[in-house]
Structures are given as C-alpha cells and as structure tokens.
Amino acid sequence: MQYLLLLMIFIPVPVFAHTSDQRYADGYIIDLSTAPVAPWVGEKTGMSFVFRDPFTGVATSSVKSASFSIDALMRKNKKSPEIVFESHTFTIDRGGFVTNYTFTEEGTYDMHLTFVDTSGISHVAGFRKQIRDGGMKTQAPISPEVFFGAVFLISILGFTAGRLSKK
C-alpha cells in the first residue's frame, strides 16, 4: 500500500481543462478558446474558433467563411462603447480558424462572429471576454524546478515521518 501511495505521488498525471466558451447558433455549436484563458492588457491573445455539428460534436465542413469584430463594451476609463477591431474574412479550414489580438485596455469586450455556411446563409454568434489589467502580472512565478523540488522534499519528509511513527 505504501508503494502504491509513492507511485501516485511521483507519477505525473495529465490534466486536461476545457477552457472554451460555447454558443449555439442556427444549428451550429461554436467554440471559442483563448490562450491565455484570462487575457491581460497588452498580452497577445490567441483565439481559436471551431464550428461543430450539434449532434456529433465533430468539427463541421459546412461553414465556408467567417469574420468577427470586437466591441469595447465597458472599460475602466468610462469611454463609450466602440468597435476596436474588425477582422478580414477567414476561409474555414477543417471546421475552424485561428487568429490573435492584443487588447490595449482593461474592460469587458463583446466579440461578434459572423459566418457563412455552404448554402450561402449568414449566421451570427456572440461571445464576451473580460480583460484584466496587468498589475498582478509583475509578480515572479514559481519555477517548475522549485515547485517539484518542494513536492519531492515534502513527500520524503512525510514518508520518513510515517515510517518513524510506526516504530
């Protein structure tokens, strides 16, 4: 049992997080995944849009093009809402497309996605994203070496203490 516990502590387990926003629009499920999940002001934000069949969940090839715009809805400096970005038209390949944008101000942003299917019908979906000020980003993150070293040392101390307490 002790060896099983040790194996569980030291063998890495992959963790997968679903970090996309989903919207249903006219027979399509649209996934928007952003990297990073919670963007900062001034940080390049990758955006992946995927169009899925609502019954199978598989990326569909029935969407041929898409474009989107980003509206600054509410900003910290109380400026009135305005369109801050309009994309060119993307040709959809394998059910989706990828792009990026760098937000310049903190606030709440609406993203309006317009896409056209193979029958020529236009559809619209909306997403909302909160952009944070980069004030906290200046803190130095803990390095992986320090983190795993601390986990290793604590595990050894716990194992040793457990062995000593049985005597």
Write the Ramachandran bin of 137: left for phi over 0, alpha for psi from -120 to 50, otherwise beta.
Answer: alpha
Two tokens, residue 7: 């194996």
Model confidence at 18: pLDDT above 60 = no
pTM higher than 0.75: no
Model confidence at 139: pLDDT above 70 = no
Please name which of 130, 115, 120, 129 lies closest in space to residue 52, comparing C-alpha atoms.
Answer: 115
Average pLDDT over residues 157-165: 76
Prior bond of 12 cis (ω within 30°): no
Task: State whether the Cα torsion 131-135-136-142 is positive or negative.
Answer: positive
The domain 19-140 is classified under which CATH number: 3.30.360.10, 3.40.1260.10, 3.60.21.10, 2.60.40.1930?
2.60.40.1930
- What are the tens digits of pLDDT across the range 104-114? 888 888 999 99
Report which DSSP code applies to 119: T
